[in-house]
Amino acid sequence: MQNELNALEINKTWSLVDLPPNKRVIGCKWIYKIKYKSDGSIKKYKAIYLTDTRFLASKPVPTSIVITAKLCQNDSPPYNDPAYYRRLVGKLLYLTNSRPGISFEVQQLSQFMAQPTTNHHKALTRVLRYIKGNPGQGLFYLVSSSLQLKAFNDLDWTACVDSRKSISGCCVFLGNSLVSWKSKKHTTVVRSSSKAEYRALASSSCET
């Protein structure tokens, strides 16, 4: 297996599946071939993704979220096209399979699928503009790496403005390769920050 991996060409193009040209998956045009590069980029997919969302010509931004901004229910007038908002969030959920860096932002946006507001849509468009400015990011797994398992977690106590529930994040590495990640809001309100930290640590331990 090791020899087979070493024999792979970095810029080789791989066929994925034979589908009709108009076939779509969760609203995105299907890609027949993807060119893998040494940095793990999948720029061809990102370009078509942004074309479908009508953000290909948008102005890029350096970050995917404004740190000081806190999203909450009824923080602005309702967005006039909630179905379009839901479609975009669904595409971003799919994109987190290769872009873990936007997992927290997508977790935040997915809380307001029922009644999105203009502020929620503004935050959503910022994520898309961030993707526009960073099209080549993704996961890259080295052929040879150590088998040391490492896990990291963090917690934002009472981060949700509406429910006062905490939000925790976890990522697990096998060697230098990221193999598991998640950003999740807790199901209960915890009155102690220490107790919330222990809950986040227990969740990370189970994932490991």
Domain of residue 73 covers 9-133
Q: Note whether residue 17 is domain-resident.
A: yes
Residue 94's identity, in one-letter code, is: Y
Task: Give the residue, 27 or 116, on which the prediction is more confident.
Answer: 116
Q: Note whether residue 144 is domain-resident.
A: no
Q: Note whether residue 73 is domain-resident.
A: yes
HSE-up (13 A, CA, CB side) for residue 20? 3
4 has a pLDDT exceeding 60: no
Residues 155 and 72 in one domain: no
130 has a pLDDT exceeding 60: yes
Residue 133's identity, in one-letter code, is: G
Residues 101 and 77 in one domain: yes
Question: What CA–CA distance (Å, rounded) separates 100 from 134?
Answer: 13
User: Which pLDDT score, from 0 to 100, does residue 54 have?
Assistant: 66
Domain boundary (105, 133, 161) is at 133
140 has a pLDDT exceeding 90: no
The pair of structure tokens assigned to 107 is 């977790």
Q: Note whether residue 158 is domain-resident.
A: yes
Residues 107 and 22 in one domain: yes
Residues 88 and 188 in one domain: no
Q: Note whether residue 102 is domain-resident.
A: yes
Q: Note whether residue 37 is domain-resident.
A: yes
136 has a pLDDT exceeding 70: no
Q: Note whether residue 4 is domain-resident.
A: no
Residues 20 and 119 in one domain: yes
Residues 121 and 158 in one domain: no
User: Which pLDDT score, from 0 to 100, does residue 173 have?
Assistant: 92
Q: Note whether residue 142 is domain-resident.
A: no
pLDDT band per the 50, 70, 90 thresholds, residue 38:
low
* Conformation bin of residue 146: beta by default, left when phi > 0, alpha when psi is -120 to 50: beta
pLDDT band per the 50, 70, 90 thresholds, residue 120:
very high
Write out pLDDT tens, residues 168-206: 989 999 888 888 998 888 888 988 889 888 888 888 888
pLDDT over 90 for what percent of the chain?
15
Q: What DSSP string runs through the chain?
A: -HHHHHTS-TT-EEE-----TT-EETTEEPPSEEE--TT---HHHHHHHHHHTT-TTSPP-S-SS-TT----TTSSSBPS-HHHHHHHHHHHHHHTTT-GGGHHHHHHHGGGSSS-BHHHHHHHHHHHHHHHH-TT------SS----EEEEEEEETT--TTT---EEEEEEEETTEEEEEEEEE-SS--S-HHHHHHHHHHHHHHH-
Nearest to 64 by CA among 131, 110, 116, 121: 131
Rounded mean pLDDT of the chain?
76
Residues 102 and 178 in one domain: no
Residues 83 and 159 in one domain: no
User: Which pLDDT score, from 0 to 100, does residue 171 have?
Assistant: 92
Question: What CA–CA distance (Å, rounded) separates 203 from 171?
Answer: 11
Write out pLDDT tens, residues 45-100: 555 556 556 666 678 888 888 877 788 888 889 999 999 899 889 888 888 887 88
- Can you tell me the mean pLDDT for 2-19? 42
Task: Give the residue, 109 or 35, on which the prediction is more confident.
Answer: 109
pTM above 0.75, yes or no: no
Residues 89 and 189 in one domain: no
Domain boundary (101, 133, 165) is at 133
151 has a pLDDT exceeding 70: yes
User: Which pLDDT score, from 0 to 100, does residue 51 have?
Assistant: 57
The tally of domains found in the chain comes to: 2
